Structure 1
Amino acid sequence: MNVPEILPAPAALTADDFSARRQRLMTQLPRDAAILVLSSGLAQRNRDSEFTFRQNSDFHYLTGWPEPEAALLLLPGRAEGESVLFCQEKDPLAEAWTGIRIGAEGAVTQAGFDQAFTNDQREDVMAGLLDGRGRLFVLFEDDEALALAQSLREELAAAVRRGARPPVAFEDLSPLLHEQRLIKDERELALMRHAAEISARAHIRAMRASRPGLHEYHLQAEIEHEFQWQGAPAPAYTSIVGGGVNACVLHYIENRAPLIDGELVLIDAGAEYALYAGDITRTFPINGRFSEPQKRLYEIVLKAQERAVAAVVPGATLVGIHQQVVHDLTAGLVELGLLQGEVEALIADEAYRRFYLHSTSHWLGLDVHDVGSYRENGEPRPLLPGMVLTVEPGLYVPDASDIPAEYRGIGIRIEDDVVVTADGHEVLSATVPKSVEAIEALMREGA
Structure 2
Amino acid sequence: MKKTIWTFVMLMFAASAFAQSYFEDGLTSEWHRGRRDELRKLMPENSVAVFFNNPVKNRTNDVDFVYHPNTDFFYLTGFREPNAVLVLFSELREINGEMADELIFVQNRDPRAEMWNGKRLGLEGMMNELGFEEALLNSDFGAKSGINLQDFDKILTFSLSESIEESTSNEPLITMVNEFKAATAYPDKLTEASAQLYTMIKNSDLETSDRVVQMLKRYQNQYPEMMDDPFISSFMNAESPEKRMVVKEEMPEQKLDITALASMMATLREIKTPEEITLLRKAVMISAVGQIEVMKAAKVGMTEREIQGVHEFIYKRYGAEELGYPSIVGSGNNGCILHYIENDKRDLTDRLLLMDLGAEWRGYTADVTRTIPINGKFNAEEKAIYELVYQAQEAGIAISKPGVTFQEIDAAGRQIINDGLAKLGIIKKGESHMYFPHGTSHHIGLDVHDSGTRDPLKEGIVFTIEPGIYIPEGSDCDPKWWGIGVRIEDDILITEDGAVNLSEAAPRTIAAIEEMMRLPSVLEEWVLPEID
- State the partner residue of 2:29: 15
**In 2 relative to 1, CA 257–234 (structure 1 residues): closer, same or farther, beyond 3 Å?**
same
1:185 maps to which of 247, 264, 273: 273
Instruction: Determine if the alignment matches structure 1 residue 70 to structure 2 residue 84.
Output: yes
Distance apart, 1:369 and its partner CA: 0.8
- State the partner residue of 2:172: none
Asked if structure 2 preserves the Cα contact closer than 8 Å seen for 1:398 and 1:410, the reply is yes
Correspondences of 1:239-278 after superposition (within 5 Å): 239-278=327-366
Correspondences of 1:374-389 after superposition (within 5 Å): 374=454, 381-389=455-463
Asked if structure 1 preserves the Cα contact closer than 8 Å seen for 2:376 and 2:518, the reply is yes
Unaligned runs of 5+ in 1: 1-8, 156-166, 375-380
2:402 maps to which of 310, 314, 335: 314
**In 2 relative to 1, CA 34–259 (structure 1 residues): closer, same or farther, beyond 3 Å?**
same
CA distance in 2, matches of 1:57, 1:41: 13
- State the partner residue of 1:57: 71
- State the partner residue of 2:180: 149
Which segment drifts farther, 248-257 or 102-111? 102-111
Correspondences of 1:4-403 after superposition (within 5 Å): 11-75=25-89, 76-79=91-94, 80-126=99-145, 128-130=147-149, 132-140=151-159, 143=162, 148-154=179-185, 169-171=255-257, 172=259, 173-341=261-429, 345-346=430-431, 351=432, 353-374=433-454, 381-400=455-474, 402-403=476-477
CA distance in 2, matches of 1:81, 1:268: 45
Distance apart, 1:146 and its partner CA: 7.0
Distance apart, 1:141 and its partner CA: 6.4
1:443 maps to which of 514, 517, 522: 517
Which segment drifts farther, 168-177 or 423-432? 168-177
Which segment drifts farther, 28-37 or 9-18? 9-18
User: Match of 1:35, SS?
Assistant: strand
Count of residues in Structure 1 that have an aligned counterpart in Structure 2: 414
Distance apart, 1:142 and its partner CA: 6.7
**In 2 relative to 1, CA 272–204 (structure 1 residues): closer, same or farther, beyond 3 Å?**
same
User: Match of 1:445, SS?
Assistant: coil
Distance apart, 1:340 and its partner CA: 2.6
Asked if structure 1 preserves the Cα contact closer than 8 Å seen for 2:282 and 2:361, the reply is yes
Percent identity between matched residues is: 36
- Per-residue CA deviation, residues 285-308 of structure 1 (Å, 9 max, x unaligned), is 001111122111111111111111
Asked if structure 1 preserves the Cα contact closer than 8 Å seen for 2:460 and 2:494, the reply is yes
User: Match of 2:155, SS?
Assistant: strand
- Per-residue CA deviation, residues 11-65 of structure 1 (Å, 9 max, x unaligned), is 4211100001101111222442111001112111112211001111010011000
- State the partner residue of 1:423: 497
Asked if structure 1 preserves the Cα contact closer than 8 Å seen for 2:107 and 2:138, the reply is yes
Unaligned runs of 5+ in 2: 1-22, 165-175, 187-252, 522-532
CA distance in 2, matches of 1:331, 1:222: 37
Letter of the aligned partner of 2:500 in structure 1?
E
Asked if structure 2 preserves the Cα contact closer than 8 Å seen for 1:10 and 1:191, the reply is no
Distance apart, 1:425 and its partner CA: 1.2
CA distance in 2, matches of 1:127, 1:151: 16
CA distance in 1, matches of 2:376, 2:481: 18
User: Match of 2:283, SS?
Assistant: helix
Distance apart, 1:253 and its partner CA: 0.8
Distance apart, 1:150 and its partner CA: 2.5
Asked if structure 2 preserves the Cα contact closer than 8 Å seen for 1:200 and 1:280, the reply is yes
Higher relative contact order (CA 8 A, sep 6+): 1
Structure 1-normalised TM-score?
0.88
**In 2 relative to 1, CA 141–241 (structure 1 residues): closer, same or farther, beyond 3 Å?**
farther
2:506 maps to which of 426, 432, 437: 432
User: Match of 1:354, SS?
Assistant: coil
User: Match of 1:442, SS?
Assistant: helix
Asked if structure 2 preserves the Cα contact closer than 8 Å seen for 1:212 and 1:286, the reply is yes
Distance apart, 1:355 and its partner CA: 1.2
Distance apart, 1:384 and its partner CA: 0.8
Distance apart, 1:176 and its partner CA: 1.0
- Per-residue CA deviation, residues 91-136 of structure 1 (Å, 9 max, x unaligned), is 1111122111110122112211121111122244346353522211
Larger radius of gyration between Structure 1 and Structure 2:
2
Q: CA RMSD in A?
A: 2.0
**In 2 relative to 1, CA 212–111 (structure 1 residues): closer, same or farther, beyond 3 Å?**
same
Distance apart, 1:398 and its partner CA: 2.8
CA distance in 1, matches of 2:59, 2:472: 36
Distance apart, 1:401 and its partner CA: 6.7
CA distance in 2, matches of 1:259, 1:244: 12
Letter of the aligned partner of 2:182 in structure 1?
S
CA distance in 1, matches of 2:506, 2:160: 37
Asked if structure 2 preserves the Cα contact closer than 8 Å seen for 1:207 and 1:446, the reply is no
Please list every run of at least 4 consecutive aligned residues from structure 1 whose deviation after the TM superposition is greater than 4 angstroms: 141-148
CA distance in 2, matches of 1:289, 1:426: 29
User: Match of 1:282, SS?
Assistant: strand
- Per-residue CA deviation, residues 130-155 of structure 1 (Å, 9 max, x unaligned), is 35222111123675787553322359
Asked if structure 2 preserves the Cα contact closer than 8 Å seen for 1:243 and 1:259, the reply is no
**In 2 relative to 1, CA 11–401 (structure 1 residues): closer, same or farther, beyond 3 Å?**
closer
**In 2 relative to 1, CA 146–140 (structure 1 residues): closer, same or farther, beyond 3 Å?**
farther
1:414 maps to which of 483, 488, 506: 488
- Per-residue CA deviation, residues 301-357 of structure 1 (Å, 9 max, x unaligned), is 11111111111111111111111111100111122121233xxx33xxxx2x33111
- State the partner residue of 1:161: none
Distance apart, 1:264 and its partner CA: 0.6
User: Match of 2:93, SS?
Assistant: coil
- Per-residue CA deviation, residues 381-438 of structure 1 (Å, 9 max, x unaligned), is 2111111111001111132274223211100000001011112011111100011111
Asked if structure 1 preserves the Cα contact closer than 8 Å seen for 2:303 and 2:344, the reply is yes
Structure 2-normalised TM-score?
0.74
